[in-house]
Every structure is written in C-alpha cells, then in structure tokens.
Structure 1
Amino acid sequence: MRICIRAGILTTVLLIRPQAQTADSASDKDYRAGMNAMQNGDSASAAQDFRRAIAANPRNADAQNALGQLLLQQHKASEAVEHLRAVTRLKPSLAIAHLYLGQALSQNGTTDEAVSEFRITVRLAPNQAQAHEALARALVSQQKTSEALVEMSKAVELAPNQPEYHDELGSLQAQSKAYSAAEDQFRAALSLNSSYEPALLHLGVALLQDGKLADAKAALESASQLSPDDGLAHYYLGNVLEGVQNSGSALKEYKDAVKLLPDFMPLRTRLGVLAQRTGDITTAIECFRAVVAAQPNDPEAHNNLGLALLQSGKADEAIPEMETAIRYAPKDSSYRNNLGAAYLQKSDFDAAIDQYKKGLAISP
C-alpha cells in the first residue's frame, strides 16, 4: 500500500536557551531562510539552510523536522530517519513527529520500528485518522491483516469523508475475501468522489473475484476509460472478458496492458496462454520467452514456452525447455508427458515411450 508523505511542516516552539542566544538566533535565521527557499521551490538551498541551522543548534526541532521531511520527500529515507528521530527525542509527546519518523522508517524498509512509532502516534493522538491509517499500512507489511482491518476501520470512522480511507479498507476486506463488505467500501469511496479511479479498479477486481462478471466489466471499463494508462485496469478487464468468453477483446486488453506493464509477468503469462489458445503462436512464444528470461527458475514458464514451440512445429527448440522444466520440477508427470509429445513430433518413438513411462511412474 502506498505511504502518503504530507507536505506540511511541524509547528514547534523554538528551543532558545539564554546562554546560547547568539547561536540559536543564527539557527533560527537559517531555518527561516530554508522555509523561504522551500516556498520558492528551491529545495537545494533549503536543505543547505536547514543543515546550517542544525549545525548552529542541534536542538532546533523545527530545522531537524524540516530537513527530515525534505529528505523523505526526496526518498532519502535513511538520512531522514536521523533527523526525524532527533525531533522525537526533542518533542517526545508530539504525535505527528512519531508519524513522520514512522513513515521514514517504512520507506527505509524497517517495518518493525515503523510499527512501533505508529503505535506511539495512535497512543498520543487516538482521534487522528491519519495515525490509524499509517499503522494499518505498516501492519499490512507485517502480514497482520486482522489488526490492520481494525485500524483502518477506525480511520474510516474518524474520517468518513475521505474516499482514500474507504478504498484502503475495502482493499483489506477484499484480501480477506469479504467481498460484499469490500464492495460497499469501494462504492462509498465512489459516492464521495466518482472520479476516484483506484476505487473503480478495486471495485472491479472485487466483483471479478466475487464472480459478478457483468458488474465487474462495467467497473473496469469505467476505470480504464478514466485512466487509460492504468495497466492493471486493462489486465483485469481482460480477465473479465476471458471469463465471458470474449477472447478477442480480452487479447486486446492484455496487449494494451503489456505496453504499460512490460515487466508484469502474470500478465505476460496470461496473454501467452490466451494467444496460444486462439492460435496466435508468435505472440505466445514472445510472451513465454519474456517470462523465462525474467523467471529462469520457474518450471511452468519453461513448460509453457516448450508447448508453444511444439505447437509451432519446433520440437528441437521445445525439448530443452521441457527438460529444464523437469529439472526444476522432477515430480510433475505432466512435464514428462509433454516432453514425450515433443519426441513424438520428431518421430523418436523410443524416447517418447521412455518419457511416458516415467510420467506413469510418477502418476499411475
């Protein structure tokens, strides 16, 4: 799930100590210069100003926070953590400081620490929807879906007019196969913002998984029209069209999706299988070669490529792919039988019989 980085800057009291007034005044001046640079879109100058402010007074929580957020927005999470952690030390009861630190830790891949910070945020600000939302996202990363559902439900309760929250709650419910509840949340999101494409996409996917193909088709068509560059909308619409036996239109959607998501291998596999089934062997081979290149240890990828090559009369090319599939999955009898069929195409009957016997030994 995505992590939203808010652009706002924490409002804190400047820590001016009488015995260090000159240094603190210099720190404040650099901090204000950094804020002006930020407002003018000059992030490089802002970073320099914030660093000078911190050098003059490491206890300047405003400067530490501002630099931390700037680094976070620049996806420099590791460096951001250092400064945002300083804010939580200086202002341990400031909930939003823990929220920003949690976001930086999440971006840095330290999910367990992020969860701890988000729990502190929820404890300090139990009525802040964003705190519960952030905790829910981090819990999903820990595969704690049940607890994430509780937190996301609380976020929706506290901020019922946020379509994004309904969408995220619906996504969690769909993952738990509570499709009716998920559909209700996606529809609630769309009632708040009818052009919110993620909810349309997710509604379509939930309806597809719930077997409601006609409704799924309508939702996914709307999603792909609203966001024609969303490859997943085309992919799932292709799934629906396959389900209603409209292979020609499904192929078109998959081909559109591949242009947008060339590295999404489940899509390549799905397009390859459908192309093979409808006689477009060239496309099938192209897809399966891409999958094999991306997933060289996947026996099914090699088997699919081998079958497509065999269907095009290229038994000599098919055999090495099928042998590779067997090497990775020696107990799959179907791979042995497919290799036997390849030898039959070459009229190598002894080799074919040998493979069929080995297949029967695995699955009598």
Structure 2
Amino acid sequence: MSLPSRLFICAYLLSALAMARAQTTHAAETNLQQANAAFHAGYAAASNGDLNTARQQFQRAVQLAPQVEEGHSALGGVLYQMGEYAKAIPELETALRLKPGDQAAHENLALAYTQIGDYQKALPIFDRLENQASQPLSADLLASYARALAATQQLPAAIRKTKAAIAAAPQSAALYDQLGSLYAQMQNWQQAQNAFEQALRLDPQLAVAHLHLGIILARENQTVAAVQELTTATQIDPQNATAQLELGKVFAAINQDDNAIPRFQQALTLDPKLIEAANEWAMALQRTGKEEQAIPLFEKVVVAQPQNAIAFTNLGLALVQTGKAKEAVPDYQRAIAINPNDATTHQDLGVAYLQESNIDDAIHQFRAGLELSPESPQLHYNLGLAFKLKDDLPHAITELETAAKLDANSPDPPYTLGILYMQQGRFDDAAAQLRTALERRPENGDGWAILGSVYKQQAKYDEAAAALRKAIEFLPNQPGTHITLASVLQQQGKKQEAAAERKIAADLTRVAVNRQRATFATNTGNLLLQKGQIADAIDRYQDAINSDPTYREAHAQLAAAYERQGRTADAAAERAKAAALQSNRP
C-alpha cells in the first residue's frame, strides 16, 4: 500500500534552521547555510518523487546540522518511503529524542516497526497516536495498526481497525483483502469470502485477492471455482510463487498430479526458499511413480525442516521404492526419533528392514507399530510375512488370520494363507483361502496357477484344469503353468491336449532362454562399446540378434555401434528394425 509523504513543511524547516543559526558562532554559519540549501534541494526532490536525490540531500543536511530534529525526521521519512525500514528507524528515533512531539516521526516510526515485524514497539506508538489525535487516523495508519494487532493475535481488535480504515477509504480493494485475511485467520470463512469478493468488485486485477479467494474456495471444496480464481491470480501476477503453489495444491487434491507438478516446479523456481513447494512437488512425483526424481526434493525439505517427521518418512519411502532400503533406514529412524508414536513409520521401517533381509529388526518394528495401533491389518499382515520368512509358520498363520479378520476386503492375507496352508498339506483350507483371494483380485494369474496346483494335489482334475486355464489367460507366457496343465490333462486321459500343452511349454522355454542369451550378449556389447572396442561390440550385438531377432535393444545398440564406425546405411537399417519392434509392442 502506498503511503503519503510524511515529511515536513518547508517553512517550518527554515524556521528551525534560523533558530539554530541564532545559537551558533560565526564559524558554523557556513554549515547552516549549506544545510539550508540541502533542505531546499531535498524537499524539492521529494515533492517531485525523486527519492534518491531527496535522500542524498537530507543525509547531507543531517551531517551539516545534526542538532536539527527536522533533518532526521525528513531523512527517516524518505528512507521509509524507499522501503529501507531498518535504516529509517534510527533516524526517526533520533528525531524523537530531539523533539518528542514530532507527529510525522511518530507515524513513520510506527509504520517502520510494523514493516520489520517489531510489533511490540509499534503498538504503543499506534495507541499514543490514536489517543492523542484530534481527528481519526488515516486509512494507511489504521491498516498498519491492524496488521500489528493481528501479528500479536489480537484479531478482533485488528478487524475493528481494518473496518475503520475501510470507512476512511471505502474504495480500497487492498483493505477489503486485508479484512478477508483477518476473517480467515479467525476461521470465519463466509465473511472472509465476502470480503475477498468485494475486493475484486473494486479491483478485478488485484491478484492477491484472487489468490486468497481461491484458497477459501478450495477449502470449501469448490474446486472448479478455486482453480479459476487461482489461475487468474497466476495470470495477473505470474511471478507470484504462492499462487503457483496453491494452484498446484488444488490440482493435487483432485488427483490431477500431471497438472500440479508444473505448478510446484514453477513455484520453487520463482522462490527456491519456498520449501512447501519442494515438499508438494516431491509428493506429487512420488504419487506418479517418479520416486527417483522426488528424492532430491525430499532431501531439500529435511535439510530445511529437520523436525519434519513426515518428510523423513516420505524420503525413506522413496528410497525403498527405488531399491535403496539400506539408505532409507536412517531416515525412518530420524522420523521415529522425532515422532515415536507414529505406527505407520514403524511399519515402513520394518518393510525397509525386510528388503535388507534383516528380519529380526523388521519384526521388532512391526510389533512396535502394533503396540500403537493394535487393530492395523497391514501391520499384522507384514508381521505375518516376516514370520513366514523366518519359517515360523505357526506365528505367521496367526498374524495373517488376524489380518484377514481385520480387513475383510483385502486379497493379500487369504492369498498368503493359501500358500502357507498348501505348504502344510492343508489343501482344503488352502483352496478355500485362494478362492477368497481370487474373488477379490480375479486378475491374479499366479493365484490361479497355485489354486490349480492345489486342486491337482487333491486329484480334482476338472477344477485344476479350469484354474490353470484361467492362469494362462492372465499369464500366457509362463511355461510352468502349461507344464502343470499338461500333467492334469494327462491324468484326465486327454493325451493330445497334454502333448499340445507340453509343446507350448517347450516353445516358451526356448524363447525365454533365447531372450536371456540375447540380453547377456547385448549387455556385454554395451560394456565393450563403452570401452571403445566397437568391432567386438558389434559381434556381441549380432550374437544377440541371432539368439533373438525380436530383441529391440540389440538392434538399437547395433545401430549406435555402426554409427560410430561410420556405417550410416547399416545404422539406419538397424534403427528401422528397432522402431518396427517398438511399434509392434502391445
């Protein structure tokens, strides 16, 4: 908010100089004359809006006549108008020591204290100004007074002062925006929305009011309107990092992370210290499967906010998701040190330990989590898995049965129970659990294959064949399932069908072996190519293609090797083959 000049009347300054001159010796006369000229020049520059020149002239005047209060007051006023609040304060304080009754100095000092956040010093001055004023304070002073009150949690008083400011300047959109912000701090959302809407009626281009209204609308789940307001805020003020952040948060809240991510990125670009943007960006990347990109952002967050347990947990999760469980452990431990009563963090740390095959520590963490959240089906399930890995089947089954009771919709506990029951020879129980799991997740091809094997053990060949064919529907390239089905068909006396399944299994096995050979040869070629052994690399790539002509990576790398040999035509041919294989992928 712009403030009117709070300088002085030139004639009043000249009078002060005349008084000072009468009390000086003849030797100081020159200094006073020069100070007088500087005052004239400073006043003229300030009147013309040339604050830099005004500052220089008033500084000169103060140096020449430091005993004249008005010089310090004038210099402080100009420094305030230039936004150099910390430098303005000592000049204004000096002015008031020399002349405690200087109204302009009191006003500027109260405003400057407010600007630097020293509200405890500002408020007594505002109180004095209001109590001693012969007429109401200006809208600018009242608005600043209100901000100081709000900063010291005196919100009702702040609202009264802001309303008084609005009464003095009823066309000020910025004052209505301030009023709305105060209502929002008091969680009076409707009053806040009304004030922001009034601000925008007065000034539709006030970006901050669009921002604040958008935040209120988002809180009220009016997401379409919130997106509109926040988008408008970013269009009017594209350099506003907070507007970009808030718009991204609304997109994230409605599961539009692809739209949210660019907003968070832009917010952090505009303001690298806006840690909330880094955190929101990292979480959005994590949600969209880009954990590797999220890790450095989470690291930035935990450095800036070393007591943010959630950020440490999210960092640990991202590390686990990218196969770096060992690196995740210290971050989870730090999160637990900050907040030891979070069951989810104990669970996540246990999962990290499981990935590191540290089963005993995993069990300890899962049990610690269950002490905090004994009804958590996921913790019971994870503890059951840990016991299973220790071959402690009785304890594993107990935990998995508990998990199944606590979550009647999850397919995981019955699936794992089915496997354990099968290992114990409890085929009826195994089949029942596997059927339950497959009812909840029918696309689980491995589950159908295991159920088919259980039925085979029970000599229920019709059920076994049906389950195995269901498994093949979802996993057609698994040779083992075809082999099991062939065995079942053989038992049913369907020798031709059994032979056909065995042939399919043999073909799939051959394809798998050939792909394995091609992959190995291609990886060897890549190492040779990195060493500059181009001819040897080409041999390996050709070996890979001979093993599996459909392996796209071998064609692409062979093209790169030919390119380095200058064989551009051969390179183009291999690139075309690689592109054709890529386009033929389902």
Give TM-score scaled by structure 1 length: 0.89
Rounded to whole Å, the distance in 1 between the matches of 2:124 and 2:181 is 23
Residue 110 of structure 2 aligns with which residue? Answer: 102
Rounded to whole Å, the distance in 2 between the matches of 1:60 and 1:245 is 62
Structure 1 position 70, deviation (Å): 3.2
Residue 124 of structure 2 aligns with which residue? Answer: 116
Contact 2:325–2:353 (CA<8 Å) still a contact in 1?
yes
Structure 1 position 160, deviation (Å): 0.7
Letter of the 1:290 counterpart: K
- The alignment status of 1:233 with 2:243, answered yes or no, reads yes
Aligned 1:331-346 pairs, distance under 5 A: 331-346=341-356
Structure 1 position 126, deviation (Å): 1.7
What do the CA deviations read for 1:217-242 (whole angstroms, capped 9, x no partner)? Answer: 11111111112221111111112222
Structure 1 position 168, deviation (Å): 0.8
How many residues align? The count is 358
What do the CA deviations read for 1:16-39 (whole angstroms, capped 9, x no partner)? Answer: 327338575554223113335655
Residue 22 of structure 2 aligns with which residue? Answer: 19
Rounded to whole Å, the distance in 1 between the matches of 2:232 and 2:38 is 50
More displaced 10-residue stretch of structure 1: 351-360 or 35-44: 35-44
More displaced 10-residue stretch of structure 1: 45-54 or 208-217: 45-54
Residue 274 of structure 1 aligns with which residue? Answer: 284
Structure 1 position 286, deviation (Å): 2.2
The equivalent position to 1:72 in structure 2, one of 66, 70, 80, is: 80
More displaced 10-residue stretch of structure 1: 254-263 or 5-14: 5-14
- The alignment status of 1:191 with 2:201, answered yes or no, reads yes
Letter of the 1:267 counterpart: A
Contact 2:96–2:106 (CA<8 Å) still a contact in 1?
yes
Letter of the 2:357 counterpart: S
Rounded to whole Å, the distance in 2 between the matches of 1:19 and 1:43 is 26
The equivalent position to 2:90 in structure 1, one of 64, 72, 82, is: 82
Change (3 A) 1:209 1:67: same
Residue 46 of structure 1 aligns with which residue? Answer: 57
Contact 2:39–2:58 (CA<8 Å) still a contact in 1?
no
Rounded to whole Å, the distance in 2 between the matches of 1:127 and 1:321 is 55
Change (3 A) 1:117 1:312: same
SS at match of 1:42: helix
More displaced 10-residue stretch of structure 1: 283-292 or 119-128: 119-128
Contact 2:86–2:116 (CA<8 Å) still a contact in 1?
yes
Contact 2:317–2:348 (CA<8 Å) still a contact in 1?
yes
More displaced 10-residue stretch of structure 1: 95-104 or 76-85: 76-85
Letter of the 1:142 counterpart: T
Structure 1 position 116, deviation (Å): 1.1
Residue 454 of structure 2 aligns with which residue? Answer: none
Letter of the 1:160 counterpart: P
Give TM-score scaled by structure 2 length: 0.57
Structure 1 position 307, deviation (Å): 0.6
What do the CA deviations read for 1:77-104 (whole angstroms, capped 9, x no partner)? Answer: 4552232134445665554432201122
Rounded to whole Å, the distance in 2 between the matches of 1:105 and 1:223 is 30
Rounded to whole Å, the distance in 1 between the matches of 2:8 and 2:77 is 13
Aligned 1:1-364 pairs, distance under 5 A: 4=1, 6=3, 8-12=5-9, 13-14=12-13, 15=16, 16-17=18-19, 19-20=22-23, 22=29, 25-36=33-44, 41-42=52-53, 45-55=56-66, 58-61=67-70, 63-73=71-81, 77-88=85-96, 95-123=103-131, 124=133, 125-364=135-374
Letter of the 2:61 counterpart: F
Rounded to whole Å, the distance in 1 between the matches of 2:42 and 2:64 is 9
What do the CA deviations read for 1:191-216 (whole angstroms, capped 9, x no partner)? Answer: 22211111111111121122222211
Contact 1:53–1:60 (CA<8 Å) still a contact in 2?
no
Rounded to whole Å, the distance in 2 between the matches of 1:59 and 1:44 is 16
SS at match of 2:65: helix
Rounded to whole Å, the distance in 2 between the matches of 1:113 and 1:263 is 29
Rounded to whole Å, the distance in 2 between the matches of 1:104 and 1:7 is 14
What do the CA deviations read for 1:312-351 (whole angstroms, capped 9, x no partner)? Answer: 1111111111112122222322221111010112222222
Structure 1 position 136, deviation (Å): 0.5
More displaced 10-residue stretch of structure 1: 95-104 or 74-83: 74-83
SS at match of 2:23: helix
Change (3 A) 1:79 1:220: closer
Letter of the 2:351 counterpart: A
Structure 1 position 311, deviation (Å): 1.1
Rounded to whole Å, the distance in 2 between the matches of 1:126 and 1:120 is 13
Rounded to whole Å, the distance in 2 between the matches of 1:314 and 1:163 is 53
> What runs of 5+ residues in structure 1 fail to find an aligned partner?
none
Change (3 A) 1:136 1:44: closer
Rounded to whole Å, the distance in 1 between the matches of 2:33 and 2:68 is 12
Structure 1 position 353, deviation (Å): 0.7
Change (3 A) 1:299 1:59: same
RMSD over equivalenced CA pairs, Å: 2.5
Rounded to whole Å, the distance in 2 between the matches of 1:178 and 1:101 is 32
What do the CA deviations read for 1:164-203 (whole angstroms, capped 9, x no partner)? Answer: 1111111111111122211222122222221111111111
Q: Percent identity?
A: 31
Rounded to whole Å, the distance in 1 between the matches of 2:85 and 2:314 is 41
- Structure with the bigger RCO (C-alpha within 8 Å, sep 6+) is 1
Change (3 A) 1:274 1:78: closer
Letter of the 1:98 counterpart: H
Structure 1 position 298, deviation (Å): 2.4
Change (3 A) 1:239 1:108: closer
> What runs of 5+ residues in structure 2 fail to find an aligned partner?
375-586
Rounded to whole Å, the distance in 1 between the matches of 2:210 and 2:95 is 39
